Amino acid sequence: MELNTVSLSDFVKLATVIWIRGFESVEPAMINSGMVKVMNISEHTGNTREFSEIDTNEYLTYKGESDQAARGKVQQGYTKTMTMYRVAENIGISYEMRTQNKYPEVVNALLSAGAKGQNTIDLDLSHRLTFGTATSYTDRDGRTIDTTVGDTYQLFYTAHKLRGSSTTFRNRLANNPQLSKGALEGMERLITENTYNQLGEKKTAIFDILWTTDDPNVVNTAREYLRSIAGPEATHAGVVNVYQGKYKHVILPRVATTAVGAPDSTKRYYWGLASSTMSSFYLGIWEAPHLIPPAPNTNAEDVQTDDWEFRKIIAEIKSLLINGEKLRCIPPTSRKAVAETERRDPEKGCDSPTL
């Protein structure tokens, strides 16, 4: 396709399609992991959502003949508030690009912009695990991100509190071992002995996700344990592998990164187990990712440079794991709502995210 004055109107129509193609070209590892629950939130309903756990007792009480049935116990668990925030970027399409048939450069700009949107969401979600051993971290924009859970402790901790019991529980394996048969069995034992409701009763839960970073050694080790026909440490053939089909292996390429998204070798061996059915890791979407294309002779065309500004709004989240995170957010989609949001003080527009 040639990019010239005749084709410009058609190109603008296609700009959003090209941008979406870039957005969908990146695999949303965290969203597809099974750990994150996506919630679409209607506009004009405020910029916060409160999430709260409600637990009941696990077992019934004996009822004698003609006795009144015992009333079940109800216990409120962890509570966290999700507050939206927005991220965006302008894409400059210069006058020279439009008049000198620089179509490949324009298409690449739109494709890369779409990919950045998916990358941003995935990075921020991944960092809820990356910095899960701390109560906060400073993100790439200099904001302090709260990573505490409902009991004010960090996500991965050795003495989480329960609301209706003096019992504490841990979800961090002692000595932080690398993935191995012994470590995996240790983690399974931890799950068996440290999964409670808020009343301190043992809960039986199916943990069906084994997540790792993208470090080759960790990835290959996980695959050996989950896919071997024989036992991974067997000395002879015909031994059944008890791990085969037990977990879904999820590779999270952005967990082993710094706050700005650079590789961080100190986190290359991070791994863990998770439950897709019991996860309380929420992603709230107020405003879906989208592109706002310009039109000639509008305020989207810079009068000084004749550049067109393609404004990309990314539906960011305020991450919230009731049992371990805070969520991120995304505001309204309408032009009017966008304009109103732009006029607000950015420091007051949205709360900082957390896992």
What's the pLDDT score for residue 241? 82
Higher per-residue pLDDT: 303 or 300: 300
Check whether 331 has a pLDDT greater than 70.
no
Mean pLDDT, range 284-313, rounded to an integer: 74
pLDDT interval class at 354 (50, 70, 90): very low
Q: How far is CA 187 from CA 184, 192, 195, 283, in A?
A: 5, 9, 12, 26
Give the whole-angstrom CA distance, residue 212 versus residue 251: 5
Mean pLDDT, range 302-311, rounded to an integer: 69
Map out the domains of the chain as residue ranges: 8-54+74-349
Contact 252/269 with Cβ under 8 angstroms?
no
Rounded CA Rg of the chain = 24
**Going edge to edge, which strands form the sheet with 318-321?**
36-40, 281-285, 318-321, 327-328
Q: What pLDDT, in 10s, does the model give residues 312-330?
A: 665 544 445 555 433 333 3
Q: What pLDDT, in 10s, does the model give residues 232-250?
A: 666 666 677 888 889 999 9
Check whether 117 has a pLDDT greater than 60.
yes
pLDDT interval class at 122 (50, 70, 90): very high
What's the pLDDT score for residue 334? 43
C-alpha 50: how far from chain center: 18
pLDDT interval class at 205 (50, 70, 90): confident
Check whether 191 has a pLDDT greater than 50.
yes
Mean of all residue pLDDT scores within the chain: 83
Give the whole-angstrom CA distance, residue 235 versus residue 10: 65
Which of 18-22, 87-91, 108-112, 332-336 has the weakest average pLDDT? 332-336
Q: At what angle do helices 8-24 and 103-130 cross, to 10 degrees?
A: 30
Higher per-residue pLDDT: 6 or 171: 171
What backbone phi and psi angles, to 5 degrees, belong to 66?
Answer: 65, 5
Mean pLDDT, range 130-141, rounded to an integer: 96
The pLDDT > 70 percentage for the chain reads 78
Q: What pLDDT, in 10s, does the model give residues 29-66?
A: 999 999 999 999 998 899 999 999 999 999 999 999 99
Contact 89/316 with Cβ under 8 angstroms?
no
What's the pLDDT score for residue 293? 79
The residue type at 47: N
pLDDT interval class at 72 (50, 70, 90): very high
Check whether 164 has a pLDDT greater than 50.
yes
pLDDT interval class at 292 (50, 70, 90): confident
In a 10 Å sphere around its CB, with 0-12 CB exposed, 13-18 middle and 19+ buried, how is residue 176 labelled?
exposed
Check whether 340 has a pLDDT greater than 60.
no
What backbone phi and psi angles, to 5 degrees, belong to 130?
Answer: -55, -45
What's the pLDDT score for residue 140? 94
What's the pLDDT score for residue 196? 96
Check whether 96 has a pLDDT greater than 60.
yes
Stated length of the chain: 355
Which of 12-21, 130-139, 320-329 has the weakest average pLDDT? 320-329
DSSP lists the bridge partners of residue 206 as none
Using H for helix, E for strand and C for coil, what is the string for the chain?
Answer: CCCCCCCHHHHHHHHHHHHHHHHHCCCCCCHHHCCEEEEECCCCCCCEEEEEEEEECCCCCCCCCCCCCCCCCEEEEEEEEEECCCEEEEEEECHHHHHCCCHHHHHHHHHHHHHHHHHHHHHHHHHHHHCCCCCEEECCCCCEEECECCCCCECCCCCEECCCCCCEECCCCCCCCCCCHHHHHHHHHHHHHCCECCCCCECCCCCCEEEECCCHHHHHHHHHHHHCCCCCCCCCCCCCCCCCCCCEEEECCCCCECCCCCECHHHCCCEEEECCCCCCEEEEECCCCEEECCCCCCCCECCCCCCEEEEEEECCCEEEECCCCCEECCCCCCHHHHHHHHHCCHHHHCCCCCC
CB atoms within 10 A of CB 177: 14
pTM for the whole structure: 0.80
